[in-house]
Amino acid sequence: MASGVIVKALAGFYYVQDGERYVQCRARGLFREKKQTPLVGDQVIYEAENETEGYIMALKARKNELSRPPVANIDQAILVFSAREPDLQLFLLDKLLIHIAIQEIDTLIVVTKIDLLEPSARKHIAEQMEVYREIGYQVLFTSAKDRVAVNDLCPYLANRISVLAGQSGVGKSSLLNVLSPSLQLETNKISTHLGRGRHTTRHVELLPLFSGWIADTPGFSSLDFTAVAVEDVRFYFPEFVSRMDGCKYHGCLHDKEPACAVKQAVANDEIAETRYKHYLQFLEEIRKQKRRY
Ligand code: GDP
Ligand code: ZN
């Protein structure tokens, strides 16, 4: 028996890439008993009938799975934000970082369309993003239009499954097209896949890119906090975690509590005020949601 990764699922078939081999597989009945549905991204054991056809016999354990798009074993989320058109959305960035951390997926932040910035604005955005570098995130600045630094993405793609995230219009397809012109993704569309009718089956495919894989559909489009507890949000802010031992109260939410080391660090400009404000907004959003249910 051989093993490979499902790179496409369509009309009851699973397409398994096993090195150079591309095998069209059906799932054996055992999945129905276990109520398991193979997903794109799954590592599978399959039995080849011939060079191009076979049966999936078993799925290996998943490290994570997303429902939108339905992909398993994602190693990395590449968060794409435009510096302009639309303007850099730090609130959305902070929210995405939480949702991605919950899934235990690595993050790469890409700020693109930097060609649209005059030097002073460029400096300002570099300073804003320095905050993220300081707390441990990787940040790249690119322009698909001027082909600036797009290739810096390549080492991050190797040997991993990546999913892109970011609003429509920020330049995700344009970046992929520069990285791999043969993809010829349509740009300037209201996300081709996400815009489809709700009742059509979602189809997602992993595209080979620099010896890794990238999902052809953006992820993390719905960002509600229904499954997140108020007490957990603080753990997704690395700059809070490193200081929380200094808070007077064990279990401090860094909100109304006195003698809070996080609030002190905000007052001392050691923690970015925008990040702290967003944190309080997230707490409020979650509390509101809980009241509603
Ligand atoms: P997506 O919806 O995130 O895939 O965004 P697209 O790649 O479709 O890009 C949306 C619009 O932004 C298109 O009109 C692109 O031509 C434009 N665009 C993308 N990247 C850049 C860039 O680096 N610089 C500039 N000036 N425009 C860009
Ligand atoms: Zn505190």
- The candidate with the shortest Cα–Cα distance to 226, out of 291, 286, 146, 156, is 286
Pairing of strands 161-165, 76-82: parallel
CA distance 81 to 78: 10
Neighbours of 181 (CB within 10 A): 8
pLDDT of residue 230: 95
- Going by pLDDT thresholds of 50, 70 and 90, the confidence category of residue 32 is low
Residues 29, 34, 38, 41, CA torsion sign: negative
279 CB-side CA count, 13 A:
24
DSSP sequence for 166-220:
--TTSSHHHHHHHH-GGG----SSS-TTTTS-TTSPP--BEEEETTEEEESS-B-
Ligand 1 pocket, 171 CB below 6 A?
yes
Q: Closest Cα partner for 71 from 81, 63, 60? A: 63
pLDDT band at 291 (very low <50, low <70, confident <90, very high): confident
Residue 234 DSSP symbol: G
Is the pLDDT confidence value at 190 over 50?
no
Share of the chain above pLDDT 90, in %: 76
Output the CA 176–ligand 1 centroid distance in Å: 11
Which residues sit with Cβ closer than 5 angstroms to ligand 2, an ion? 247, 252, 254, 260, 262
List the one residue out of 105, 118, 107 whose CA is nearest residue 81. Answer: 107
Nearest to 204 by CA among 67, 46, 110: 67
Cβ–ligand 1 distance for 99 under 6 Å, the answer no
- Ligand 1 pocket member 113 (CB < 6 A): yes
**In this structure, which residue's CA is closest to atom 14 in ligand 1?**
188
Distance CA 105, CA 71 (A): 12
CA of 24 from ligand 2 middle (Å) equals: 54
pLDDT digit string, tens, across residues 208-229: 998 899 998 888 877 888 889 9
Complex-level ipTM: 0.99
Q: Find out whether the beta carbon of 145 lies less than 6 Å from any atom of ligand 1.
A: yes
Distance 239 CA to ligand 2 centre (A): 12
Tally the residues of the chain.
293
With a 6 Å cutoff on the Cβ, whether 168 touches ligand 1 is yes
**pLDDT score at 194:** 42
State yes or no: pLDDT of 103 exceeds 60. yes
Phi and psi, residue 14, nearest 5°: -120, 130
Torsion of CA 150, 154, 160, 162, to 10 degrees: 0
pLDDT digits (tens, 9 = 90+) for 161-180: 999 999 999 999 999 999 98
3-state secondary structure of 80: strand
Ligand 1 atom 18: the closest Cα is on which residue?
A: 171
- In ligand 1, the atom with minimum distance to the C-alpha of 146 is 23
How buried is residue 110: exposed, middle or buried, by Cβ count under 10 Å (0-12/13-18/19+)? Answer: buried
For the chain, the average pLDDT equals 91
Give the model confidence (pLDDT) of 67-81 as tens digits: 888 999 999 999 999
Question: Can you read off the two tokens belonging to residue 149?
Answer: 């630094």
pLDDT of 216 reads 87
**Is the minimum distance from the CB of 149 to ligand 1 under 6 angstroms?**
no
Ligand 1 neighbourhood includes 173 CB (under 6 angstroms):
yes
d(CA 252, CA 231): 9
Q: Residue 200: pLDDT band by 50, 70, 90 thresholds?
A: very low
Q: Which two tokens stand for residue 276?
A: 């702290």
Kindly provide the b/e burial profile for residues 188-214, where b requires at least 16 CB atoms within 10 angstroms of the residue's own CB. eeebebeeeeeeeeebbbbbebbebbb
- Contact in structure between 194 and 218 (CB atoms under 8 Å): yes
Alpha carbon separation from 244 to 216, 252, 273, 284 (Å, rounded): 39, 8, 17, 20
Residue 102 in tokens: 């919950």
DSSP code at position 41 = T
Instruction: Identify the nearest ligand to the CA of 252 by its number.
Output: 2
